[in-house]
Every structure is written in C-alpha cells, then in structure tokens.
Amino acid sequence: MRLLLDTHTLLWAADDPAKLSTAASAAIREPANNRLLSAATVWELAIKFGLGKLILSLPYRQWMERAIADLKLDIIPVTVEYADRQAGLPDHHKDPFDRLLIAQALVEGIPVVGADAAFDLYGVTRLW
C-alpha cells in the first residue's frame, strides 16, 4: 500500500515513535508499504527549522536525510496537477502545506498517515 506521511507523523516516527497511534506505527513499519513524503513537507520543515520554530535532534539536512533513509521514504514532488487540485479545495483547512498533502492524497488515491481529523472533511482516507 502507498502511504503519504503527514508532517507531524514524520517528526514523531523519526524522533518520538511513542506518539504514533498503534495503527500508524504498524503501517509505517510494514515492509510491504511504500512510504511517501511530500516535497512540501521537506520544505515546511526547512522553513520552520530556519525560523527557529522547530527544534530537531540534528541539524536540518542531517536530520532529514537520516529520517528519509531510516523510514525508507520516497519523495513525491509538487506538481502543477497537485497545486491545481489544492487551489480548488474548499476552505476546511487553512494550512497551505496540509492542503497540498490533501490534494496529493486525493489525486493519487492514497491514504494519509496522520492525526489531523480536518483531512477527513475532504474525503481523504486517513490512517491513525
């Protein structure tokens, strides 16, 4: 199964797995699953780290490279198709990074691993 990790899911899976739900943890650990990370999440974390709003256990690049390797993540790009889908979404959720994840999940027909129930308002399948 292909799974798209929400930003907080990445942070917790990498640094504090006890915060993950049992279902989320099992889905992430399942070797048959293809774990995807949006380029938007990579950018969001870089912005927050650079502004001092996010503390990581390592410098940003080292942390990100380690998380990608340890969790065996594949990065999906931000495309015009995803951006277009995001532009047409209703305003249930205001966070632009989350809205892009929602659009990616809808276009690809894949679930998001995350705790944010606002994703459900868009008809996204959410594992938590």
- Say yes or no to pLDDT of 29 above 90: yes
Contacts of 113 (CB under 8 A, 6+ apart): 3, 4, 5, 6, 9, 24, 27, 28, 126, 127, 128
**Domains of the chain, earliest start first:** 2-127 (3.40.50.1010)
Q: Which residues of 25-44 are buried (b: 16+ CB within 10 A; e: fewer)?
A: bebbeeeebebbbbebbbeb
* Mean pLDDT, rounded, for 15-23: 97
User: What residues pair up with 74 in beta bridges, in sequence order?
Assistant: 36
* Mean pLDDT, rounded, for 88-103: 93
- Say yes or no to pLDDT of 94 above 90: no
Give the predicted TM-score (pTM) of the model: 0.93
> What local confidence, expressed as pLDDT, does residue 93 receive?
81
> What local confidence, expressed as pLDDT, does residue 46 receive?
97
